[in-house]
């Protein structure tokens, strides 16, 4: 994994995640991030910065939280829903590059439970929702050793994604 | 007999960026062993330290979830396809309500 990663998203799609989190409050929302990921040669003359991941969210696939037991502090996307989201991504010429969910009345930081259940490579956006209002939004990627998440910068595009 | 394993996107980085691999195996478990022997870095993402499939790792033989067949002892035949499908879970605190 590159040392520094960034996730690009339009302001419109970022707002849609916030709205989804507010709508499902006090339950957690969840959905798939659809887009592209590519390793671009940033500067071939500079070995330290030779490769940097270029990852952009170009669509969302909101999903129902399938955790019926504890939806206030858990979310679940079943394998069937993952397959449905993958099909939706393929139909748009995109792929699933990550997932988003909300933390109702909790900070936008991954919990131990998040880490224990995370997959590598995916971007995990977390939006914190306090008293029904969406606040901080962060993104994380699981380290190769599964021991912790690394923060991923969110770069907001003010114009619509291409 | 050759069995194809489809590798999900988040794990391809640990499998030489391949989206599938073929192994000679007579059960699903044997095919998965072949996969993690060839690509050792995959093991910790698919199996717990006790050697059990992680709860959020779903394995399908063709279109059947192996949990409803004979799990990892499910027999395979030539030309079968095994798919590893993630399920996604998380939440804001360690303990459920």
> What average pLDDT does this structure show over A17-46?
83
Question: What residues of B are in contact with residue A64 (Cβ under 8 Å)?
Answer: none
Task: Tell me how close the Cα of B24 comes to any Cα of chain A, in angstroms.
Answer: 26
H or E stretch covering A135: strand A133-142
- CB-based contacts of A22, cutoff 8 Å, min separation 6: A129, A132, A133, A134
Q: What Rg, from alpha-carbon coordinates, does chain A have?
A: 16
Beta-bridge partner residues of B74: none
Write the ipTM.
0.88
pLDDT of B19 > 70? The answer is: yes
Q: Tens digit of pLDDT for each residue in B50-88? A: 999 998 999 999 999 999 999 999 999 999 999 999 999
What's the CA gap between A100 and A107, in Å, rounded?
14
Q: Tens digit of pLDDT for each residue in A91-136? A: 999 999 999 999 999 999 999 999 999 999 999 999 999 999 999 9
Put simply, the answer to whether B86 touches A82 (Cβ < 8 Å) is: yes
Question: What residues of A are in contact with residue B14 (Cβ under 8 Å)?
Answer: 120
- Nearest-by-CA chain B residue for A109: B92
Model confidence at B96, pLDDT cuts 50, 70, 90, reads low
> What average pLDDT does this structure show over B4-27?
96
pLDDT at B74: 97
Contact B88, A30 (CB under 8 A): yes
């Amino acid at each position: 994994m590159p040392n520094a990663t960034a996730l690009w998203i339009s302001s419109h799609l970022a707002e849609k995640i916030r709205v989804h989190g507010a709508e499902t409050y006090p339950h957690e929302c969840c959905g798939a991030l659809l887009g592209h990921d590519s390793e671009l040669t940033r500067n071939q003359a500079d070995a330290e910065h030779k490769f940097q991941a270029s990852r952009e969210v170009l669509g969302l696939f909101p999903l129902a939280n399938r955790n019926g037991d504890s939806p206030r502090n858990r979310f679940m996307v079943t394998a069937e829903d993952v397959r449905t989201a993958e099909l939706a991504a393929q139909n748009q010429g995109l792929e699933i590059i990550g997932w988003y969910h909300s933390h109702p009345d909790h900070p936008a930081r991954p919990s131990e439970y998040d880490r224990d259940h995370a997959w590598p490579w995916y971007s995990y956006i977390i939006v914190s929702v306090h008293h029904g209002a969406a606040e901080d939004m962060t993104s994380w990627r699981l380290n190769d050793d599964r021991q912790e998440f690394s923060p991923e910068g969110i770069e907001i595009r003010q114009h619509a994604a291409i | 007999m050759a069995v194809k394993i489809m590798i999900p996107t988040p794990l391809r980085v640990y499998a030489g960026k391949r989206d599938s691999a073929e192994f000679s195996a007579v059960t699903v478990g044997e095919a998965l062993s072949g996969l993690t022997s060839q690509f050792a870095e995959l093991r910790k993402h698919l199996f717990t330290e006790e050697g059990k499939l992680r709860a959020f790792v779903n394995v399908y033989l063709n279109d059947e979830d192996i949990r409803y067949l004979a799990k990892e002892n499910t027999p395979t035949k030539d030309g079968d396809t095994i798919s590893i499908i993630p399920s996604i879970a998380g939440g804001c605190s360690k303990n459920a309500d």
